């Protein structure tokens, strides 16, 4: 049982600050990946293109020719084309080794906690920039760590690749591709 009274005094109304912070948060998108087009030092392609290739795999020339529409007057089914693009094919010379989506998905609880903290900051009327930067940095680190994470379940390098690059670690050679993964905070959707 409580006896007595409690006086509550509101010294500052934070409603407007909270509204503004929540509106700012709703406009922000944290993007993890390779936002620039810096060329990979050992290649004439960009790091972004290289990560795309490793995410989706590489088809050999014969498969590319087979995938051309109306080849030898036999049309290539749109449904079949979509299936191949979505699921790959045994004819791929380089197997898919996705980085960004599975890394973020495997660590979504951790990122979710940071996003929750960001929302709390917005509700308290605080500047959300530091919290969003923390989300971005954590996402960047998670994606970079995926290269050596045993959960990535990547196919091993072939003996030919191991001999050529001197390593059995997939996607790790100079480390430039991994270092190119960063984050940006953008206003609006991507």
Pairing mode, strands 92-94 and 182-187? unpaired
> How far is Cα of residue 133 from the mean position of the Cα atoms in its chain?
15
Question: Which contacts (CB < 8 Å, 24+ apart) does range 186-189 have?
Answer: 186/28, 186/29, 186/31, 187/27, 187/28, 187/29, 188/27, 188/29, 189/29
Contact criterion met (CB below 8 Å) for 97 and 171: yes
Q: 130: how many CB neighbours lie within 10 A of its CB?
A: 10
Three-state SS for 132?
helix
Q: Which residues pair with 92 in a beta bridge?
A: 59
Q: What is the DSSP letter of 71?
A: B
Query: What mean pLDDT do residues 112-130 have?
Result: 91
Contact criterion met (CB below 8 Å) for 39 and 46: yes
Confidence band for 133, pLDDT divided at 50, 70 and 90 = very high
More confident residue, 72 or 155: 155
Contact criterion met (CB below 8 Å) for 14 and 118: no
- Say what the pTM is: 0.68
Residues 6+ apart with CB under 8 A from 110: 138, 142
Which tens digit of pLDDT belongs to each residue from 28-41?
A: 888 888 876 666 56
For the cut 70, the answer to whether the pLDDT of residue 157 exceeds it is yes
Element holding 66 (H helix, E strand): helix 61-67
For the chain, what is the mean pLDDT?
A: 77
More confident residue, 79 or 19: 19
Residue 135 is encoded by which pair of tokens? 């989300």
Please give the pLDDT value at position 86: 43
Please give the pLDDT value at position 105: 95
């Amino acid at each position: 049982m409580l006896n007595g009274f409690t006086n509550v005094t509101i010294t500052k109304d934070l409603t407007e600050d909270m509204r503004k912070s929540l509106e700012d948060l709703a406009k922000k998108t944290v993007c993890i990946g390779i936002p620039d087009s810096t060329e990979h030092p050992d290649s004439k392609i960009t790091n972004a293109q290289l990560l795309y290739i490793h995410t989706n795999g590489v088809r050999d020339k014969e498969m590319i020719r087979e995938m051309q529409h109306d080849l030898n007057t036999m049309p290539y089914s749109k449904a079949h084309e979509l299936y191949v693009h979505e699921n790959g094919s045994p004819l791929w010379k380089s197997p898919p080794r996705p980085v960004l989506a599975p890394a973020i998905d495997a660590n979504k609880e951790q990122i979710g906690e940071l996003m929750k903290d960001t929302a709390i900051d917005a509700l308290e009327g605080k500047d959300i920039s530091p919290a969003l930067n923390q989300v971005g940095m954590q996402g960047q680190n998670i994606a970079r760590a995926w290269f050596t994470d045993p959960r990535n379940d990547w196919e091993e390098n072939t003996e030919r690749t191991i001999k050529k690059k001197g390593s059995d670690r997939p996607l790790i050679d100079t480390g430039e591709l991994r270092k190119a993964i960063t984050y940006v905070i953008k206003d609006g959707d991507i």
